[in-house]
Structure 1
């Protein structure tokens, strides 16, 4: 399934002429599968076809706990694991997105240069008809992830070869300042178990789609 086919599927969620309904599409998958790259690509293509503001991007990564909170919880060494996200805050935002059609809704992101979450990088406008949200754990069966899944029209599992994901993860960690040995330890000790946890939810997704071959984007838009 290529990028054009995925775009056509996403455009189908906009409804017929004159429709003002809002749909939320989710993308799940292990670290470095390409979720954020696919989500941003689909948003851009939908806005190209249906006009500015017709689609919006909502990354789970905006709900990473800050370094200060990770230190407080003694979770710095597990950054990226399920417990290192404000999952309930993410679900609350999805509920507001589903219900509030009158206000701009500001959405946080994760800045890889700062290595911290940042507020209000994205926005869901009142006219937004398709919201694409992505994150590792949207297919998890642990609380509160099923509450998020019930708000989604569909949940796609982004499938990418493990060797390619590892290559991307190592590059990400090196770019973030880790040396080769430290980067490999982080992939083995943290990213790999997180990825295996994510894979367990694959059967709960609506469909499996490939991680399409798109270039990485800077900052919070690197392949996730």
Structure 2
């Protein structure tokens, strides 16, 4: 895996758009993997916005893995409520199936679910991949996992970047996120220790399946 953490956002956008430059080329699916709070969504949104600015509205689309969180009811049924955000708490096969639909570039809009941090639940059809979309940026913790469902999703990506951030910075962001979502200080500390850290280690163990490493959020 090539380690190139010091590229600017413009560099990364150039790299992301290069395979999509030929209108006759297949739609490009770029994945961003990385541990919790590494900056994946920040980078994904920046790439999509930059691509649309260069190529026109709807030329790029955002597809978050978080839309495939299992509902709280399903997590409770499966005994996973305390491991929300871990690999088994996602519908990996559903995510792979959506990527396959998107990769086929159908002549109609494809609707994409998301996760609502206010509701603490996944929500349907928040994002849209339009028929003329050239670049799809999808992000999530586990895109590089070598496990059923995740392997099928990885095979559909034209590229997969590992988004890196120092662990102390990630945990600071996680604390702010959990506290901002209404968790107590005690609950926040327990979630980071008992869930976020193990999840992060699982992601790090799979980073060799990524094509390159970048720092996020990118600057410049």
Coarse TM-score class (shorter-chain normalised): over 0.9
Which of 71, 86, 90 is the matching residue for 2:95?
Answer: 90
Task: Map residues 167-178 of structure 1 onto 2, 5 A cutoff.
Answer: 167-178=172-183
TM-aligned CA deviation for residue 20 of structure 1: 5.4
Which of 131, 134, 143 is the matching residue for 1:129?
Answer: 134
**Unaligned 5+ runs, structure 2:** 1-6
* Residue number in structure 1 paired with 2:13: 7
Report whether the alignment pairs 1:101 with 2:114: no
- For normalisation by structure 1, the TM-score amounts to 0.92
* Residue number in structure 2 paired with 1:143: 148
**Secondary structure of 2:127 counterpart:** strand
Aligned pair count reads 213
For the 8 Å contact 2:67–2:122, the answer to whether it is kept is: yes
Rounded Cα–Cα distance in structure 2 between residues aligned with 1:121 and 1:56: 12
TM-aligned CA deviation for residue 71 of structure 1: 1.0
**Unaligned 5+ runs, structure 1:** 215-224
> Over residues 67-97 of structure 1, what are the superposed CA-to-partner deviations in whole Å (9 max), with x where a residue is unaligned?
1111111110000000000110000000111
Rounded Cα–Cα distance in structure 2 between residues aligned with 1:19 and 1:10: 17
Rounded Cα–Cα distance in structure 2 between residues aligned with 1:21 and 1:128: 10
RMSD: 1.1
**Secondary structure of 2:47 counterpart:** helix
Rounded Cα–Cα distance in structure 2 between residues aligned with 1:159 and 1:146: 21
TM-aligned CA deviation for residue 213 of structure 1: 5.0
- For normalisation by structure 2, the TM-score amounts to 0.94
Rounded Cα–Cα distance in structure 2 between residues aligned with 1:12 and 1:177: 42
**Secondary structure of 1:182 counterpart:** helix
